[in-house]
Amino acid sequence: MERIYLDHAATSPVHPEVVHAMIPYMTEVFGNPSSIHFFGRQSRRAVDEAREAIAKTIGAKTNEIIFTSGGTEADNLALIGVAMANRQKGRHIITTSVEHHAVLHTCHYLEKQGFEVTYLPVNEQGKISLTDLQKALRPDTILVSVMFGNNETGVLQPIEEIGMMLKEHPAYFHTDAVQAYGLIPIDVNKLHIDLLSVSAHKINGPKGVGFLYVRENVKLIPHLYGGEQERKRRAGTENVAGIIGLQKAVEIAQQTMREKVQLYRSFKERMLAIFEQEGIHYAVNGDMDDSLPHVLNVAFFGTNVEAMLVNLDLAGIAASSGSACTAGSVDPSHVLVAMFGKDSERIRSSIRFSFGLGNTAQQIEMAAYETVKIVKRLVRK
């Protein structure tokens, strides 16, 4: 049986060139970048070059990139770091109800620390309203955190408009771009973004590494204290090989962005065309026309998530019910609840397909037909 992996939003295969690029940094170039001798200097140079290459992809300065252990740490550092460093200025934070748990749970933590958090609602298309944001802004708002593209539905938020709005307000603007980076061109200056989170393993890099972009003038306290790495903003011996892997993944992502966007969009269309043609009862969750190209979230009415996932898995198709990061549980998706309310049938019958490296049109067709078969079987019962 051919296994078809359609869960790239949960994690993605490491690109062979990425592993290849990492190996020398686990063999010959193994020094600690803080060591002053040759081996240390070699590692230091590699990390510096990676930082420079990565900064360029979002129009940032080299010293505005902080390497972290992944997307979760980047989000935690952004939110807690800004909140704690600016709490004299205010204690109000605005985010959305559809953020990844790395943002949402960090906000819950900050609430316990005496901060006030506004969770903006979304409409049925999964989008926040700019009017809501405008209304929520207060003089004591210090941070607005709105994700770039949603990990469950792929829905894009109006990042450019939010950036424009916040130009007139002292609050910093953070965006979790873990799913968007590598598929959507991002220029932090054009979009007026102050902080931006990225994770390597979502873009065919290794797990355990990511970065946070932090605009030069942003006041931020570290989350991890210790040595003076990352210009004293993130202590800990640098994960040199991981950073090199991230750099390679970033380079490949930049080079292949355009073709991937086209390819994944065609996958989405093909899949939906097959669902349509086969006459199953389904609906796309979220604004299809303004979404990440690689994420497709579909409600299959009359089915339930668990049965769908088990049957898909048996058919060799790896998909998911939404966020993989709720540690193995199939809790109702907070994103779909925010869009449709907790009583909607969609909560119980939605599947996320997400595309990536290695997927072919043929695979997508096979997966679509298999899905149809399963849906028909389950609905009949």
Partner 1 sequence: MIYLDNSATTKVFPEALESFTAVATNYFGNPSSLHELGMQAERLLIQAREQIARLLHVKATEIIFTSGGTESNNMAIKGIAWQHRHRGRHIITTSIEHPSVAEACKQLEQLGFEVTYLPVDERGIVSVEDVEKAIREDTILVSIMHVNNEIGSIQPIEQIGATLKKYPKIFFHVDHVQGVTKVPLDFKKANIDLCTMSAHKFHGLKGAGILYVREGVKLSPLLAGGAQEMQLRSGTENVAGIVAMAKALRLAFEKYEKARQELNEMKRLLIAELSKIEGIQVNTPVDHSAPHIVNFSINGLKSEVFVHELEKQQIYVSTTSACSSRKKAPSKTLLAMGADQKRAESSIRISLSYENHRGQLSLIIEAIKHALKKLQEVAREM
Ligand X SMILES: Cc1ncc(COP(=O)(O)O)c(C=O)c1O
Residues of this chain that bind ligand X (CB under 6 A): 70-72, 75, 100, 102, 147, 151, 176, 178-179, 199, 201, 210, 236-237, 325
Residue 325: active-site member: yes
Pick one of ligand X, partner 1, none as the site partner of residue 176 (Cβ within 5 to 8 A by kind). Answer: ligand X
- Whichever of 178 and 241 has its CB closer to ligand X, that residue is 178
List the one residue from 237, 255, 277, 362 that touches partner 1 (CB under 8 A): 237
Pick from 243, 214, 176: nearest CA to 65: 214
In 4-91, the DSSP E strands lie at 4-5, 65-68
Residue 34 binding partner 1, by CB under 8 A: yes
Pick from 98, 136, 129: nearest CA to 339: 98
In the complex, the smallest distance separating the C-beta of residue 299 from partner 1, rounded to whole angstroms, is 18
List the one residue from 283, 307, 324, 379 that touches partner 1 (CB under 8 A): 324
Q: Under rule CB under 8 A, how many of the chain's residues touch partner 1?
A: 72
In the region spanning residues 42 to 101, those forming contacts with partner 1, defined by CB under 8 A, are 69-73, 75-76, 100-101
Distance in angstroms (rounded) separating the CA atoms of residues 209 and 257: 21
Pick one of partner 1, ligand X, none as the site partner of residue 357 (Cβ within 5 to 8 A by kind). Answer: none
From the list 272, 283, 325, 330, the catalytic residue is: 325
In the region spanning residues 341 to 380, those forming contacts with partner 1, defined by CB under 8 A, are none
The tokens for 59 are: 């129009």
Pick one of ligand X, partner 1, none as the site partner of residue 377 (Cβ within 5 to 8 A by kind). Answer: none
In the complex, the smallest distance separating the C-beta of residue 75 from ligand X, rounded to whole angstroms, is 6
In the region spanning residues 1 to 20, those forming contacts with partner 1, defined by CB under 8 A, are 3, 5, 7, 10-14, 16, 19
Pick from 194, 228, 210: nearest CA to 102: 210
Instruction: Please enumerate in sequence order all residues whose Cβ is within 8 A of that of 34, keeping only pairs 6 or more positions apart, or say none.
Output: 40, 44, 227, 228, 229, 237
99 to 115, 128, 218, 227, 261: CA distances (angstroms):
18, 11, 22, 32, 23
Residues 312/203/64/236 CA torsion (nearest 10 deg) = 80
Residue 150 binding partner 1, by CB under 8 A: no
Give me the residue whose beta carbon is nearest to ligand X.
71
Distance in angstroms (rounded) separating the CA atoms of residues 331 and 328: 9
Distance in angstroms (rounded) separating the CA atoms of residues 140 and 120: 17
In the complex, the smallest distance separating the C-beta of residue 72 from partner 1, rounded to whole angstroms, is 4
**How would you classify the pairing of strands 295-300 and 282-284?**
antiparallel
In the complex, the smallest distance separating the C-beta of residue 114 from ligand X, rounded to whole angstroms, is 25
Catalytically active residues, by annotation: 325
